Amino acid sequence: MFIRLSAAIAALSLVSAAALAQAAKPTDPQIAHIAYTAGLIDIAAAKQALTKASNKDVKAFAEDMVRDHEAVNKQALDLVKKLNVTPEDNDTSKTLSKNAAAKLDELSKLNGAAFDKAYVANEVAYHKAVDSALETTLIPSASNPELKSLLQTGLKIFQGHEQHAEHVAAELK
């Protein structure tokens, strides 16, 4: 129950529905920035976990997050250069960054098992929110086929991360 409640609170504090769903359909440059920002947020959280986590499975999960999100973000940067598109900062990416900074600050005050549980619960919630945004807003709104394909690949990776986070969370109970 505590983990589910923590996940719900984490989802609300890190990614609000409004943050991932703009009133108007986002443009490809905005989508690129949102997706890249989402990756940077998870990299920052994982790097924090690498310094604070006490559980070996949590550390291994964080290592996976850094590796996978850095690889996807590199692909995203390569694609925007190829397409000669400049990612455009927007209200969604700004809100994501602001909420992520607050969550990192909150997690920085925790240690040991409390940090491990809170970090993993946040990762479950974060990946669920990003998966939903990719499926319902970002992928359908993308007009460039290569961007859409990269987002679809990212969705598969994020769904795998969500399952991995859920498994780690279950082991921490």
Q: At residue 159, does pLDDT exceed 70?
A: yes
* Dihedral over Cα of 46, 51, 56, 60: its sign: positive
Which among 165, 124, 160, 142 is positioned nearest to 15, based on CA atoms? 124
Q: At residue 124, does pLDDT exceed 90?
A: yes
Count CB atoms within 10 A of the CB of residue 102. Answer: 12
Residue with tokens 């993993």: 120
Residues in the chain: 173
Higher-pLDDT residue of 81, 4? 81
Cα separation, 92 vs 98, whole angstroms: 10
Which among 70, 98, 85, 68 is positioned nearest to 31, based on CA atoms? 85
Banded model confidence at residue 12, pLDDT cuts 50, 70, 90: very low
pLDDT for 167 equals 97
- Write out the two tokens for 123: 């990762």
Q: Which amino acid is at 120?
A: V
Count CB atoms within 10 A of the CB of residue 171. Answer: 11
Banded model confidence at residue 50, pLDDT cuts 50, 70, 90: very high
Which among 120, 145, 136, 160 is positioned nearest to 25, based on CA atoms? 136
pLDDT for 24 equals 77
Average pLDDT (23-33) is 89
Backbone φ, ψ for residue 27 (5° rounding):
-85, 165
Inter-CA distances, 70 with 8, 14, 74, 171, Å: 26, 20, 6, 26
Fold of the 26-172 domain: Ferritin (1.20.1260)
Alpha helices in 15-90 (DSSP H): 17-20, 28-52, 56-83
* Dihedral over Cα of 141, 142, 145, 146: its sign: negative
